[in-house]
Amino acid sequence: MRTLTATLGAALLTTCATLHADPVQTLFQELDVDNDGKLSWQESSAYADLKTYFTSLDANQDGYLTPFEFGVQQRSQS
CATH number at residue 74: 1.10.238.10
- Is there a domain that residue 13 lies in? no
> What pLDDT sits at residue 25?
92
pLDDT tens column, 13-70: 444 445 567 899 999 999 999 999 999 999 998 888 888 899 999 999 999 999 999 9
Structural domain for 54, as ranges: 22-78
- Is there a domain that residue 3 lies in? no
> With 50 as the cut, is the pLDDT of residue 5 above it?
no
72 vs 78: CA distance, rounded Å: 18
35 vs 67: CA distance, rounded Å: 12
- Is there a domain that residue 28 lies in? yes
Closest CA to 65 of 28, 37, 39, 35: 39
> What pLDDT sits at residue 15?
46
75 band by pLDDT with thresholds 50, 70 and 90: low
